[in-house]
Amino acid sequence: MAMAETTLAVAAPVLILLGPPGAGKGTQARMIEEKFGMVQLSTGDLLRAAVKQGTDAGNRAKAVMEAGGLVSDDIVIAILRDRLADRDTEQGVILDGFPRTTRQAEALDLLLAEREQKIDAAISLEVDDGEMVTRISGRFTCAGCGEGYHDSFKAPKTAGICDSCGGTDMIRRADDTAETVSSRLAAYHAQTAPLAQYYADRGALHRVPAMGAIADVAERLDAIVTATRG
Ligand code: AP5
């Protein structure tokens, strides 16, 4: 009698990118997404979309984001829970900018437990405060596809034209001002930096130096991401 074939379901990997504003979370998340077919979930992007659409959550988040503070846990957790319900997250996710507080980290543990998933790696991108200001002040993004650029470190091949989609509408973020950056940095040190210990206690933390060229940082992340995929 033929044996029934069984397929072992491999749980989709869940990665967290921790790091201060401008550390390169979005840049690296997009590269991992492209290379490994996982999905980038950026709470910053989800909140900016909510602000643009004028949803209730977006209207409540707008002033806080412009001041460089953290949006309330309830709003961000609800936005993330909704996004995690989308089918594409079954390919594995890279969380970019979430969690940012201990309460968010605990909520994430519960959300993943409901899906019989766990965090495979929490990667902390480590950069100097001075470098962050340089990175943020030169940043711009393609409005069409969201590809990120930098005046000095990652300029489009042809000035003003997006390498990815050919779009010509480039935007700079409203919260990328000198004053807001220092508030964002303060919020990071007070509320988000302690999460490194939260994940170290669970054996999931990887500290990765994020100074140096974008490609060099990507290479450092490759081995960690590959290991999570079995
Ligand atoms: P969010 O959008 O998450 O912003 P952030 O954390 O401040 O991070 P950034 O997007 O500024 O930086 P990044 O690390 O992604 O760097 P990037 O790759 O772009 O959040 C915005 C706001 O939303 C928050 O302030 C808060 O109000 C709210 N919010 C979001 N999530 C929340 C949450 N969970 N809870 C509460 N509130 C929340 O790189 C920066 C630049 O540097 C780019 O130009 C890039 O090309 C360049 N670059 C990248 N890597 C390198 C490198 N190695 N060398 C040289 N240049 C580089």
The per-residue pLDDT for range 43-65, each reduced to its tens digit, is: 999 999 999 999 999 999 999 99
Q: Where are the beta strands (DSSP E) in the chain?
A: 14-18, 39-42, 93-96, 121-126, 139-142, 148-150, 170-171, 205-209
Q: How far apart are CA 178 and CA 163, in angstroms?
A: 28
Average pLDDT over residues 159-169: 96
Q: Tell whether the model's pLDDT for residue 186 goes beyond 70.
A: yes
pLDDT beyond 60 at 150: yes
10 falls in which pLDDT band (50, 70, 90)? low
pLDDT digits (tens, 9 = 90+) for 71-112: 999 999 999 999 999 999 999 999 999 999 999 999 999 999
Which listed residue (81, 115, 173, 220) is catalytic?
A: 173
For residue 177, what pLDDT is reported? 86
Q: If you compute the radius of gyration of the chain from its CA atoms, what whole number of angstroms results?
A: 18
> Which whole number is the average pLDDT over 183-188?
93
pLDDT at 9 (0 to 100): 45
Q: What percent of the chain has pLDDT over 90?
A: 83
Q: How far is CA 114 from its chain centroid? A: 22
Q: Which of 30, 48, 83, 100 is catalytic?
A: 100
Distance 117 CA to ligand 1 centre (A): 26
Instruction: Tell me which of 25, 124, 128, 191 to substitute to probe ligand 1's pocket, judged by most ligand atoms within 8 Å of the beta carbon.
Output: 25
Nearest to 19 by CA among 78, 88, 94: 94
pLDDT confidence of residue 124:
97
**The three-state (H, E, C) secondary structure of 75-139, written as one string:** HHHHHHHHHHCCHHHHHCEEEECCCCCHHHHHHHHHHHHHCCCCCCEEEEEECCHHHHHHHHHCE
Q: Is 139 a catalytic residue?
A: yes
How does the average pLDDT of the chain come out, rounded?
92
* Res 130: pLDDT: 85
pTM: 0.92
